[in-house]
Amino acid sequence: MRILVFNAGSSSLKFGLYDIAGTETLRVKGGFDRFHDGSCDLKLTVDGAHHRLRAPHGDLAAAIAAVPGILAAQGIDGINAIGHRIAHGGALFDKPAVLDTSTLARVEQLTPLAPLHNPANLAGVALARQVWPDLPQVGVFDTSFHLSAPEFSTTYAVPQAWRDAGLRRFGFHGTSHKYVGLRAAEVIGQPLDRLQIVSCHLGNGASVCAINRGRSMDSSMGLTPLEGLVMGTRSGDVDPGAFGFLSRRLGLTIEEIESALYTDSGLKALTGSPDMRDAEDRAAQGDTAAQLAIEIYAYRARKYIGAYAAAMGGIDALVFTGGIGENSASMRRRICDGLEFMGVTLDIDRNQRVDLADRAAPELQSWGSRVRVIVTETQEQLQIARETATALAVMRPARLVLPVAVSARHVHLCQEHVEALFGPGATLTPEFPLRQPGNFAAHQKVTIEGPKGALHQVRILGPTRSRTQIEVSRTDTFALGVEAPVRLSGDLDATPKIRLKGPAGSIETDGLIIAARHIHMHPDDAERWGVADREEVEVRVTGTGRGMTFSGVIVRVQPTAFTEMHIDTDEANAAGISGGAEGALITAD
């Protein structure tokens, strides 16, 4: 599939043409900016060759209209679709969307949340629809990646009426953070869903993202792109009490304050220029304002990195991207200095000799560092092309009917813990078989004891495993008084400890999790439906309760599996399911 990608700003346009089919090939990359007196600067990269010229295009409309001619001059045709970067999708768009009239109307309603970005993005869409009226146009939203974040990281502690009106944290640069996470996982050689990564997108707009096992857990930006780090012209974190203070002291209106926070703050307010390169040059010449700005910028970034490492309970990699993250060795050094306590140590020589050609992602950590430090050029346009192709894939009819089983709290024990709880030489006694071949509910039961309360008569499932695992619901964690992560079965590193009590003794063990919703799937069913192990799908549960579509359901392909979806009691209650149910698998080609 051949995808043309547009990232339209208020005074610039970036585009790229990608072939997405097995391999991913960038055919043409370009950008228009500095529109003035009927002309603009055009940067063009074709087959690795770079060209710069002054082109006769006076505005965004003329630039977009010129793209077909630029592509034709390179002998390129056969475009299948156009993907657009859209800054804010609110809570409405958790994935790419085909931009038809009704969808565009919903996106336009979100303009107050991104007043600098969404109007320019939508203008680009409107112009592209005029130039290519017969091609599908797809929106890829900066906010979508962050909609997986838990409620405790997205909820503001404000009156319910405000929250009902839509006041919540969203996060931005999601396309960049998603790409960076995937690229870091490639470098490390492990699946993204096993890694804890802090991604630093540092440019004119800047944000930090906690990517916890493949999902955005938190982002420094909030309801709008104002929150978080110091940026080129945006303030980052400011006490909301500033609105009242400035209104009383200076007589400023809400609109005037908001405009200044977007366009006259950040580096521009501190140094007179929104460009970090200018700040670094002036600081080297003794400019104290520029020196302070650099210190503030690095401090704010370092503070968020430390906070997110703590929030995830550890960090495997720290990744820098964006114009400043990719190009400023001194800023990377300032941010990393002082993070040695959490295992980040930077190699000075590697940091000075970064080469990002050919999608390189060099590692900058010194020998012995517990945390990898990686820098890579963000490829937002490539990620948009990927997601556009996925959005246009034909949906399979939902014919595969899955049994949906409700999995109550239970425990899997290792043999050592069986004997510790039930006595030397004890073994698990099967009481009844489960649908997964070889698995059974044991006669023995235990008590799970936490700092707040206990769960009694909790079933043990057999056979024994190499490591003890305790599966509870989110509601159960509040009864116990301990927080547990959402994990796949067997993914037990860095999980909290809990006490188990049996008739012969008690133990304290890690392995407490909330099980991620999943499907045990036989390889024949996986092949028939073209899904792979660890792929995420959607399942529509119908015919019982309220009916609900569960997203983010992880497929576990196992040679002896009985194909069946497992959800916990909280999820069953939300869907109105008592006992079992049936669901229809939904996935894209």
The residues annotated with a catalytic role in the active site are 142
Beta carbons within 8 Å of 225's beta carbon, 6+ residues apart: 87, 114, 116, 117, 172, 205, 207, 234
Nearest CA-CA partner of 389 in 589, 158, 119: 589
> Within 13 A of 479's CA, how many CA atoms are on the CB side?
12
The helix or strand, by DSSP H or E, that contains position 84, with its residue range, turns out to be strand 81-86
As a whole number of angstroms, the distance between CA 107 and CA 328 comes to: 35
Phi, psi of 361 (to 5 degrees): -140, 75
DSSP, res 392? T
The helix or strand, by DSSP H or E, that contains position 323, with its residue range, turns out to be helix 322-327
* β-bridge partners, 82: 4, 137
As a whole number of angstroms, the distance between CA 115 and CA 97 comes to: 21
Which two three-digit tokens encode residue 282? 């002036």
Q: What region, left, alpha or beta, does residue 343 occupy, with left being phi > 0 and alpha being psi -120 to 50 degrees?
A: left
Q: At what angle do helices 241-250 and 254-263 cross, to 10 degrees?
A: 110
Nearest CA-CA partner of 204 in 327, 119, 92: 327
Residue that is written with structure tokens 């993907």 in the block: 83
- C-beta separation of 517 from 566 below 8 A: yes
Residue that is written with structure tokens 């970034």 in the block: 301
The C-alpha torsion from 247 through 253 and 254 to 257, rounded to 10°, is: -80
Nearest CA-CA partner of 168 in 183, 186, 193, 150: 150
As a whole number of angstroms, the distance between CA 508 and CA 498 comes to: 6
The C-alpha torsion from 537 through 538 and 541 to 546, rounded to 10°, is: 150
Nearest CA-CA partner of 4 in 22, 33, 32, 29: 29
Length of the chain in residues, anyone? 589
